Structure 1
């Protein structure tokens, strides 16, 4: 479980045209590198949320994509919709302009857009440390939004003054309560329907959906509640084969997606029902396994399946393909119709409960003793593995420590045998478990074969 700032905390939206430094400001305020920063217009397409604390006051902040005309980018209309959504839910707007370039027609158009909102607006002149920028600050008075606060998000200049202005103008919430949330990462190859599935779960267009691979560039966190359970949903960028990852923005997106897998409690691996044999899917599953996370394999776009009665056959194919993670359940969904979405969230709650399960030490040793007596380890050069004692050291993931005479005598097949027996006896469906074998002298009780 992860701890998140409460949704009742005031929200500030960062808006502006492309490449004025909105994401750099977001990262500066939140002291993170969650938003992608590149010298490429349109790097951020979706809404990204974070928070900061200043003088004992907590404020949430949302980064948005750059607003521009539809002729500039095929995603412009979708980005504009996302920006309008952020403005609507925010308590205050930070309108970021580029002081080094001066006022532009795009800045004027965004000003007209902001005037339709009742939210207070603070004009932020970024990149004011660049040559000639100070002389262009006067131009921004023509926007009619008051005196601009000049800053450099990259170097941190003027940020204190900006924070003072923000906390003076947003509703006062002192030290808001934090909420423990189940963090779910939605991962998969590009264009398998991750964002559509996220939007179906949330019941709103939270992320930009397009049939162009790589539409989602940032990992987008959205808190929500399901049947009394506090959850956080992360729609990650599609993970490609390393040889096919473009430099720059896409490379950062993939790294962020892999980072969010490491921070997740449960991972939804989304695969396309029309193409189940792609090696990259198993690569992603392997990464989830290595991180010791909970996982469910999601067969999306099931409404497009030619034979919808063939679920058992599909599940059997997936079992064979993901034989290294036979514990991962398969769920069939359709983001378009909502089929299987509720069951998916129920499955996530179940998996998280399983990840918190503890096995009494006496029951664990009794099981291992019985397993060894029924099927003992093989001899290796005249020596045999001896298990003295077993205990569960951790949860999430469940971690078991085996004290043995020599870990080098453990064959991978016997390790799998022991894992299967533990899973069968104590029910660890949906989560990876870890088994560690440590050398110990034989002064402990020995589990004999």
Structure 2
């Protein structure tokens, strides 16, 4: 995935119409990108996927809230409203077995108000011989096109996805930025100081500041030019803890963070020094790693605890414990209010950006792999020795390497982590995520 904008596709619909089934079919398709991050365990209601080389972020809106509601029609209505606001493309899923329900009329009327592309898909139509009888009642909704679909059995799935990919190819292109612009998104809970931090950065540095036209409405972008370097600073809405607010629209702020993450190289997550690192902070950090972004931790409001050494020690230990699976992430102590520590941000993100986009010669990588396996031989798997034949870099941002093995599924997580650490040390990638993908050697017998 590159740093350009990734369109967001939202699934909406009443309960039990098959949104989760369709979500799973799309994200598990042959082109889906599945890369779970160790140490981040959480129900996934969003995922990056692609179809016919068109990448997109898929969100199951029902899954985002996943809570009981006193007024379920209001709950679904809010989902539709937020999808209209945040998504680039909307899929409204209807239940072909149940037929047209009163709530379907309300959802369709709501979606008529948007200028976004909407696919009206009638689910649970499992075969062509029942398509006409199940689809016909839905024409009373007055939409131009209905898509017959079985999320369970894949009937009509390819047709829908091909049409979706065609629309994705026509979504608005991101604005042109100077070459090698470093994209930096600021994320965190509300009131942690994201906007203040950007203002402090702009106030401390002598820069050319300009607004960027054509960016998404869920974030505010500022283009800075400092010496010969350009920086796109993306200020996102705060991510609230579930249940913190009764305003259901606020609970979709994760969508805004996800969109911003698809557009950045580096995610700067702000932590409130007074409140300490919270469970919600660790979730935000988890989102950054699921998207493969470089991560910079900014402990803001450090001035509030500058005279309390005990509190400083406790906070730094808590941050270290909460991020033990991502020890590469730099931690800076800063204050948007006083400007303390701000000047250290630019040298740090410069180093991170270089590592994030760095590429390595294959010969050097294979010497590194050989040294790693000699130093710590791969274990046995089902009575046979695991063998790692060779490696090559397949992409950057983040640096990603394929390792060819005889039994990729037999490589235990602990050995994968050992190899990743050896790659990190041997290549000088001490500030960014490193991904190893283990693949089976094709066309040969397993040795």
Match of 1:279 in 2: 279
CA contact (8 A) 1:298 1:331 kept: yes
Q: Structure 1 residue 307: deviation in Å?
A: 3.5
Contact 1:388 1:444 in 2 (8 A): no
- State the SS of the aligned residue for 2:397: coil
- C-alpha distance 357-381 of structure 1, shift in aligned 2 (>3 A): same
Are 2:273 and 2:299, in contact at CA under 8 Å, matched by a contact in 1? Answer: yes
> CA 1:252–1:373 in structure 2 vs 1: closer, same or farther (change >3 Å)?
same
CA distance in 2, matches of 1:314, 1:430: 21
Shift, 1:431, TM fit: 1.5
Q: Give the direction of change, closer, same or farther, for the CA distance of 1:309–1:346 in structure 2 (3 Å limit).
A: farther
Structure 2 Cα separation of the partners of residues 303 and 246 of structure 1: 33
What residue number does 2:233 align with?
233
Displacement, 1:263? 1.6
Q: Distance in 2 between matches of 1:372 and 1:238?
A: 44
2:335 is matched with which residue? 334
Mapped to 2, the partners of 1:381 and 1:245 lie a distance apart of: 52
SS at match of 1:287: helix
The alpha-carbon distance between structure 1 residues 445 and 315, as it changes in their structure 2 partners (threshold 3 A), is: farther
> In 2 relative to 1, CA 191–397 (structure 1 residues): closer, same or farther, beyond 3 Å?
same
Partner Cα distance (2:341, 2:201) in 1: 10
The normalised TM-score by structure 1 is 0.55
Partner in structure 1 of residue 202 of structure 2: 202
Q: Partners of 2:263 and 2:4 in 1: how far apart?
A: 11
Taking the TM superposition and a 5 Å limit, the aligned residue runs for 1:15-414 are 178-180=177-179, 181-203=181-203, 218-244=218-244, 246-307=246-307, 314-414=315-415
1:230 and 1:307 map into 2 onto residues whose CA distance is 36
Inter-CA distance 248–312: structure 2 relative to 1 (3 Å threshold): closer
User: Is the alpha carbon distance of 1:2 and 1:397 closer, same or farther for their aligned partners in structure 2, counting shifts above 3 Å?
Assistant: closer
Q: Give deviations 1:16-72, integer Å, cap 9, x for gaps.
A: xxxxxxxxxxxxxxxxxxxxxxx99xx9xxxxxxxxxxxxxxxxxxxxxxxxxxxxx
Displacement after TM superposition at 1:416 (Å)? 0.5
Q: Secondary structure at the match of 1:436?
A: strand
The CA distance in 2 between the partners of 1:227 and 1:342, in whole Å, is 14
- The answer on whether the counterparts of 2:268 and 2:298 sit within 8 Å (CA) in structure 1 is yes
Contact 2:277/2:315 (8 A) holds in 1: no
Distance 1:221 1:444, change over 3 A: farther
In structure 1, C-alpha distance between the alignment counterparts of 2:176 and 2:240, rounded to whole Å: 38
Bigger Cα displacement from structure 2, 388-397 vs 304-313: 304-313
Query: Are the structure 2 counterparts of residues 3 and 371 from structure 1 closer, same or farther at C-alpha, using a change threshold of 3 Å?
Result: closer
After superposing the two structures, state which structure 1 stretch, 251-260 or 265-274, moved more. Answer: 251-260
Q: Which has the larger radius of gyration?
A: 1
Residues 445, 345 of structure 1: alpha-carbon distance in 2 compared, 3 angstrom cutoff: farther
The question of whether the paired residues in 2 share the 8 Å contact of 1:315 and 1:330 is answered with: no
Inter-partner Cα distance in structure 1 for 2:340 and 2:287 = 28
Aligned to 1:423: 424
Aligned partners of 2:223 and 2:231 also within 8 Å: yes
* Distance in structure 1 (CA, Å) of the matches to 2:430 and 2:359: 14
CA distance in 2, matches of 1:363, 1:244: 51
Normalising by structure 2, what TM-score?
0.55
> Structure 1 residues 384, 190: CA separation in 2 closer, same or farther (over 3 Å shift)?
farther
Contact 2:295 2:329 survives alignment (8 Å): yes
Matches of 2:347 and 2:355, distance apart in 1:
13
Shift of 1:292: 0.7
Q: 1:420 to 1:2 in 2, by over 3 A?
A: closer
Please give the alpha-carbon distance, in whole angstroms, between the structure 2 residues aligned to 1:293 and 1:278. 20
Partner Cα separation in structure 1 for residue 232 and residue 306 of structure 2 = 33
CA separation of 1:332/1:155 partners in 2, compared to 1, >3 Å: closer, same or farther? Answer: closer
Partners of 1:288 and 1:340 lie apart in 2 by: 23
CA RMSD of aligned residues (A): 3.3
Provide the aligned length of Structure 1 versus Structure 2. Answer: 272
Residues 370/155 of structure 1: CA separation in 2 closer, same or farther (3 Å cut): closer
Partner-residue secondary structure (3-state), 1:179 = coil
Between the aligned partners of 1:339 and 1:244, the Cα distance in structure 2 is 31
Q: What is the alpha-carbon distance in structure 1 between the residues aligned to residue 327 and residue 396 of structure 2?
A: 20
Structure 1 contact 2–182 (Cα < 8 Å) conserved: no
